[in-house]
Chain A
Amino acid sequence: MATVRTITLPHYPSYPIHICMFRDVTNAAFLRSQLLEANPDFDYAFLDPSMILSPSHLLGGTFLALHASLLSRAKTRTPHSELVFRLHPNNNIGEAYRKFGISDSSTAIIAVKLGLGPEVTNERVSQHLGEHVQGESVNVGEEAERVGDWCDVGKVRKVYKLENPKKKGGKKGAQINGVGKEVDERREMESVILGMITLKGS
């Protein structure tokens, strides 16, 4: 059994989102091969945690993917691939999988399952993932606040082509301690990234 957090997005109460995080994963290659074979049992969005900045980052992409799928406006074949695709700033699905999806050597994984039907429940997702993912399940927290814990901010900044905030001055230079600064920096990045993934493809 894996620890799965179920989150309900405002405005889409009937489509819960199941999120699960693993570390020390040993069979990423197997999981990836199942994705490539499009095995319907493995219909998940497996994401690279180093590319997920914050819960809002993940949920923003999820909302847009869910929205596009429900309005039949998705650009990819499944709602889960749409989520991976949505997170990337460009319109290239393969590129999106390379950056945000898992590779054969991944050791950490975020698995997202969209509750599109009544048969997808927290227990079932938990059981299925627990059986097939060889790794240690990590609690993502009440509001999935820990999904950004393993983020590689530099990598994220590179993919979204965000400048390094060297010239921090003026009104925003008011923080005094380093911790506050890093939180602010992440928040600022998150705001820009949410805008970019919203604008993507238009």
Chain B
Amino acid sequence: MSTTNMASTASDAQPPTTPPPTQPLHALPQPFTTSNLEVLTQGAEALVYKTTFLTPSTPCVLKYRPPKLYRHPILDKRLTKARLLAEARVLVKCRREGLSVPAVLGGDWESGWLVLEWIGGRTVRAVLDEWVHKFGLRARDGKTSEEEVKRELDEGLMEVVAEEKESQEAREGLMRLMQMVGRAVGKLHEIGVCHGDLTTSNLMLRTPERKEVVGRGPPRMTVSAQREAAMSGQDPPEVIPVQQEETKETNSLEGDVVMIDFGLATQTIHEEDRAVDLYVLERAFTATHPAAEHLFQEVLRCYGESFKGAKTVLKRLADVRLRGRKRTMIG
């Protein structure tokens, strides 16, 4: 990665957002219509909307896999159905085991849609980006190599940490976040599921709900945190964008980690797949946030302690690092 890239990464606090299309690109499946629907994002396979389900005050995510016209209709139907079902089954399985993943609220395999629980909060990527932006500013100019930039970022961080007393809290919060990520991934692997696309963008830091904030009751709750908590309790669909901004302001690291996007998840207990999951996550950390690389060590540490067999996965991870995630290059 070049210096300019680094600079741009550091200066953009948020990942670039897709401009909202004025009209849907595909016909929507019954019963959904453009009213009460808001495009969130579009992937290679699915369109993701925000809407409401069951009650007008329950926000949810609608994941729709539109038919691919270049495929034979029968094959297309089968693939769509198989993939949606696989995703829903994995999510329900995780939920049964008590893992924080979005709940499946409804779906129709023949028409290709799935309704998932809304997770309010930010992606871990956004959290890390913001962190890099906040503490990595002074290291941006005049650096030639990635290594240097990285070292400078780390040192810069240390200085800033020494200067600001609040950043010590931020640092602890980040460490706590990393531990939660490690444990969440560990639990996922323990129950025999591999995510398949584990990146920082597919990990969410869910903003705690009001009652949880009150329940955990940090005595030093700030006014803005109280306001944010009060707001999240009222009317979710209206509040969520506001809420996100609020969290950014307060740099809140409260909440729990929720894994999202199980579109590529598989039910497997192979070390190889688990190691590849970790490898992909590691790449996501290092590629977008070189300064956050040492944070990943904390993820691995917690992962290693999370279940029996995690240590062997970590050993396998060393192999995967050497060769990349594709094991078989031939045949």
- Smallest CB-CB separation from B114: which chain A residue? A198
Confirm or deny: B215 has a beta carbon within 8 angstroms of a beta carbon on chain A. yes
Contact in complex: B106, A198 (CB < 8 Å): yes
* Cβ-neighbour of A67 out of B31, B55, B183, B216 (below 8 A): B31
Which size class do B's interface residues fall under?
A: 35 or more
Given contacts A10-B51, A194-B105, is CB(A180)–CB(B211) below 8 Å?
A: yes
CA A70 – CA B111 in complex, angstroms? 13
- How far, in Å, is B185 (CB) from chain A's closest CB? 13
Contact in complex: B55, A11 (CB < 8 Å): no
CA A171 – CA B215 in complex, angstroms? 13
Pick out which of these stretches binds chain A: B14-22, B84-92, B143-151, B272-280: B84-92
Residues of B within 8 A of A9 (CB): 54
Pick out which of these stretches binds chain A: B95-103, B285-293, B316-324: B95-103
* Cβ-neighbour of A171 out of B31, B54, B104, B256 (below 8 A): B256
Confirm or deny: B328 has a beta carbon within 8 angstroms of a beta carbon on chain A. no
Residues of B within 8 A of A194 (CB): 103-106
Given contacts A9-B54, A56-B54, A63-B54, is CB(A198)–CB(B104) below 8 Å?
A: yes
- How far, in Å, is B262 (CB) from chain A's closest CB? 12
CA A199 – CA B51 in complex, angstroms? 21
CA A94 – CA B110 in complex, angstroms? 26
Confirm or deny: B36 has a beta carbon within 8 angstroms of a beta carbon on chain A. yes
* Cβ-neighbour of A10 out of B30, B55, B212 (below 8 A): B55
Contact in complex: A60, B54 (CB < 8 Å): yes
CA A56 – CA B88 in complex, angstroms? 18
CA A191 – CA B258 in complex, angstroms? 15
- Smallest CB-CB separation from B54: which chain A residue? A59
Contact in complex: A73, B110 (CB < 8 Å): yes
Residues of A within 8 A of B98 (CB): 165, 172, 188
Most A CB contacts (10 A, CB to CB) among B85, B100, B103, B183 go to: B103
B contact face: mostly helix, strand, loop, or mixed: mixed
Contact in complex: B104, A12 (CB < 8 Å): no
Residues of A within 8 A of B30 (CB): 67, 70-71
Residues of A within 8 A of B104 (CB): 194-195, 198-199
CA A162 – CA B52 in complex, angstroms? 27
* Cβ-neighbour of B106 out of A60, A165, A171, A180 (below 8 A): A60
Residues of B within 8 A of A55 (CB): 54-55
Confirm or deny: A152 has a beta carbon within 8 angstroms of a beta carbon on chain B. no
Confirm or deny: B107 has a beta carbon within 8 angstroms of a beta carbon on chain A. yes
Confirm or deny: B5 has a beta carbon within 8 angstroms of a beta carbon on chain A. no
CA A63 – CA B58 in complex, angstroms? 14
* Cβ-neighbour of B103 out of A165, A171, A172, A191 (below 8 A): A191
Interface size on A, residues (CB 8 A): 35
Given contacts A12-B31, A177-B215, A180-B215, is CB(A199)–CB(B55) below 8 Å?
A: no
CA A180 – CA B215 in complex, angstroms? 9
Residues of B within 8 A of A25 (CB): none
CA A171 – CA B105 in complex, angstroms? 23
Given contacts A10-B51, A70-B30, A176-B215, is CB(A162)–CB(B88) below 8 Å?
A: no
* Cβ-neighbour of B109 out of A11, A56, A170, A202 (below 8 A): A202
Most B CB contacts (10 A, CB to CB) among A170, A176, A188 go to: A170
Contact in complex: A171, B92 (CB < 8 Å): no
Contact in complex: B96, A202 (CB < 8 Å): no
Confirm or deny: B2 has a beta carbon within 8 angstroms of a beta carbon on chain A. no
Confirm or deny: A159 has a beta carbon within 8 angstroms of a beta carbon on chain B. no
* A–B pairs, 12, beta carbons within 8 Å: A10-B36, A10-B56, A11-B32, A56-B54, A71-B111, A171-B180, A171-B183, A172-B98, A191-B103, A192-B96, A199-B88, A199-B104
11 new A-B contacts, CB < 8 A, other than A10-B54, A56-B55, A195-B103, are A59-B54, A70-B31, A71-B108, A162-B96, A174-B212, A180-B211, A194-B105, A194-B106, A195-B88, A195-B95, A198-B107
Residues of B within 8 A of A (CB): 30-33, 36, 51-56, 58, 85, 88-89, 91-92, 95-96, 98, 100, 103-111, 117, 180, 183, 211-212, 215-216, 256
Residues of A within 8 A of B (CB): 9-12, 55-56, 59-60, 63-64, 67, 70-71, 73, 143, 162-163, 165, 170-172, 174-177, 180, 188, 191-192, 194-196, 198-199, 202
> Top 3 nearest A-B pairs by Cβ distance?
A191-B103, A195-B92, A195-B104
